[in-house]
Amino acid sequence: MWLYFRFPLSFREVEELMLERGVIVSYETIRRWCAKFGQAYANGLRCRWPRPGDKWHLDEVFIRINGELKYLWRAVDQDGNVLDILVQNRRDKAAARRFFRRLMKKTRSVPRVVVTDKLRSYGAAHHEVMPSVEHRSHKGLNNRAENSHQPTRQRERAMKGFRSTGGAQRFLSAFSGISPHFPPHRHLMTASDHRAQMTIRFAIWDQITGADSRPTTA
């Protein structure tokens, strides 16, 4: 399952990779595994994350689901950790207000600063939901949130689009929790440090998935 959430692969490509290693499963089996266990594994990894930072970056991009235009709202902190992701039909004041409230409920915290683009819906919702929080509205300040959308775009292309709003929400909620666990900024590390870091991360993954408690065959 980690292959599917780590790399921009389709279910069919994961099936072929597993077949190459002698494991025969169908892509529908892989899809069901991800639907059943993905969110639970993502929640287990998030419990190990540090507390979210006090500076939140919010952004929204459009996605097409079955030919219909939807909006993907995302919030990250100053360290790039995804705080929440939400698929909505609109990007008006009501949608921004709902996202603000959902964010505070999920993180159980209130930020010091909120950074958004120039969309006026943010300002209107901000005055209602968190008027005491500083709001910075500037296109150039929000690159961190905008860059966070890139992995989603890669998966969207690999999957040839999402089939339903609910399916997109379920997948992206799990994907945003699992995907950051595996690529530890390889370009900033030496090869030995990268191998050591990946060994630790795979050990954590085995703990989350229960693989370390399974009996080994002789």
Q: What is the pLDDT along the chain (218 residues), one digit of tens a residue?
A: 666 776 667 777 788 878 878 888 887 887 888 888 888 988 888 888 888 889 999 988 888 888 889 999 999 998 888 899 999 999 999 999 999 999 999 888 999 999 998 889 999 999 999 999 999 987 766 566 666 677 778 888 877 888 889 988 988 888 888 888 887 676 778 888 888 988 998 898 888 888 777 665 54
Cα distances from 182 to residues 56, 121, 160, 198, 202, in angstroms, run 23, 35, 23, 7, 8
* Tokens 């080994």 sit on residue: 216
Q: What is the pTM of this model?
A: 0.78
* Tokens 């929400």 sit on residue: 169
Alpha-carbon span 179 to 171, nearest angstrom: 11
Q: Would you give the DSSP letter of residue 212?
A: G
Report whether 149 contacts 59 (CB < 8 A).
yes
What long-range pairs does 85-88 form, CB within 8 A, spacing at least 24? Answer: 85/169, 85/172, 85/173, 85/176, 86/169, 87/63, 87/165, 87/168, 87/169, 87/172
Q: Would you give the DSSP letter of residue 142?
A: G
Backbone torsion region of residue 162, taken as left when φ is above 0, otherwise alpha when ψ lies between -120 and 50, otherwise beta:
beta
- Full set of structural domains in the chain with CATH: 1-47+164-210 (no CATH), 55-151 (3.30.420.10)
Which residues, 6+ apart, have CB-to-CB distance to 214 below 8 Å?
Answer: none
Alpha-carbon span 102 to 124, nearest angstrom: 16
Cα distances from 62 to residues 109, 140, 162, 184, in angstroms, run 27, 19, 12, 28
